[in-house]
Amino acid sequence: MSRDRTVNVLTVMLVVLLASGPFLPRWAMFLSTVSLCYGTVVLGMMLLMRTGLVSFGHGLYYCLGAYAAGTLQPFFGITEMSIMIGAAVAVTGAVSALLALLLRKYRDIFFAMLSLAFSMILYGLLVKTSALGSTDGFNVTAETLFGVRIAGTAYERYLIFAVTAFLAWICAMGMLRYLGSHRGRLAEAVRDNELRVEYMGASVANTIHVNYVVSAMLAGLGGSLMAISVGHIDPEMAYWTTSGEFVFITILAGTGNVLAPFLGAAIFETIRSFAYEYSPNTWQMALGITMLLVIMFLPGGLWSLFARTRKAG
């Protein structure tokens, strides 16, 4: 899909989401909110994957973002949504900028394992922190949005949904711009041939560093939005299975377009949710079969369906 067309589709989708929100059934609105949160995280994973790196530890930033937003209330008494989200992005940005110094030296399985190790360290620390409820976690509420009280109002859910959709739109637009920029295009070059990139005069280390920090901040943003919409956070968010879920959605969606992560997340959440309902004993199998089918028939992810249609037409 061409860039201009993606911009149009993104904007149309935002408008459709915002306009249809009040008419959606409550479960569908929540499912969309959760999908948008996941989609934001996976958008960052997509960028990393385009750089040739698979992180099995993005739960670290997802969880860190959620805790950065959630602990503002017990520690500082802050329940303003914009500050919670800002804090999440700032904290994950700072931590990832530091960790990237080490991680950018590794590739492939070593990168995956090292990032997994860092996320499990955070998990271990949080489990030992009884003050934050250990594995039980604690509840999070965003009481106000730009100073206006939203908690407990009739439009609380819609506002959270709208904020999430709007931020996801900004992220997707930003990512689209970034992917088209000089540095953004370097990502795939790094994946294909690092040596050649260095000979061209570009820095592989810098590219990976920047892309890693961007993807971490997106994960932190997704985590804080998830914390606000779900209303509860626990260390499970940093556990390796959560990171694995992000990899799952990234592979399911494909890395062809900035729309893919949101499509993948929406399909993943929908299948999971209906599988819970219709086969409570075998819902995991439904997800596994979907994954198998996608890997066997659509190695480029669900997005390749659209890419191919375009070529054929």
DSSP state for residue 24 in the 8-state scheme: S
Q: State yes or no: residue 26 binds another protein (CB under 8 A).
A: yes
Size of the site for another protein (CB under 8 A): 52
- The single residue among 150, 186, 226, 249 that binds another protein, judged by CB under 8 A, is 226
Instruction: Write down the least CB distance from residue 34 to another protein, Å.
Output: 6
- The single residue among 25, 77, 201, 313 that binds another protein, judged by CB under 8 A, is 25
Binding piece for another protein, criterion CB under 8 A, among 11-19, 25-33, 191-199, 203-211: 25-33
Q: State yes or no: residue 11 binds another protein (CB under 8 A).
A: no
Binding piece for another protein, criterion CB under 8 A, among 67-75, 84-92, 134-142, 169-177: 134-142
Q: How many CB atoms lie under 10 A from the CB of residue 176? A: 18
* Integer CA distances (angstroms), 118 to 91, 114, 197, in order: 15, 6, 29
Q: State yes or no: residue 290 binds another protein (CB under 8 A).
A: yes
Binding piece for another protein, criterion CB under 8 A, among 93-101, 163-171, 179-187, 282-290: 282-290
Q: 139: closest CA among 241, 219, 70, 217?
A: 70
Torsion angles phi and psi, residue 232, rounded to 5 = -150, 140
Tell me the DSSP string of 142-176.
Answer: --EETTEE-TTSTTHHHHHHHHHHHHHHHHHHHHH
Tell me the DSSP string of 71-118.
Answer: THHHHH---BHHHHHHHHHHHHHHHHHHHHHHHTT--HHHHHHHHHHH
Name residue 30's amino acid.
Answer: F
Residue 45: which residues within 8 A CB-CB, separation 6 or more? Answer: 55, 58, 215, 219, 246, 247, 249, 250, 261
CB-based contact 38:94 (threshold 8 Å)? no
Binding piece for another protein, criterion CB under 8 A, among 70-78, 87-95, 198-206, 286-294: 286-294
CB-based contact 137:232 (threshold 8 Å)? yes
Distance CA 303, CA 144 (A): 37
Binding piece for another protein, criterion CB under 8 A, among 6-14, 70-78, 158-166, 281-289: 281-289
Instruction: Write down the least CB distance from residue 287 to another protein, Å.
Output: 11
Instruction: Write down the least CB distance from residue 120 to another protein, Å.
Output: 11
- For the segment 237-256, give every residue that binds another protein (CB under 8 A): 237, 242
Q: State yes or no: residue 75 binds another protein (CB under 8 A).
A: no
Q: Which residues bind another protein (CB under 8 A)?
A: 25-27, 30-31, 34, 127-128, 130, 133-139, 141, 152, 156, 226, 230-234, 236-237, 242, 267, 269-274, 276-278, 280-281, 283-284, 290, 293-294, 296-298, 302, 305, 308-309
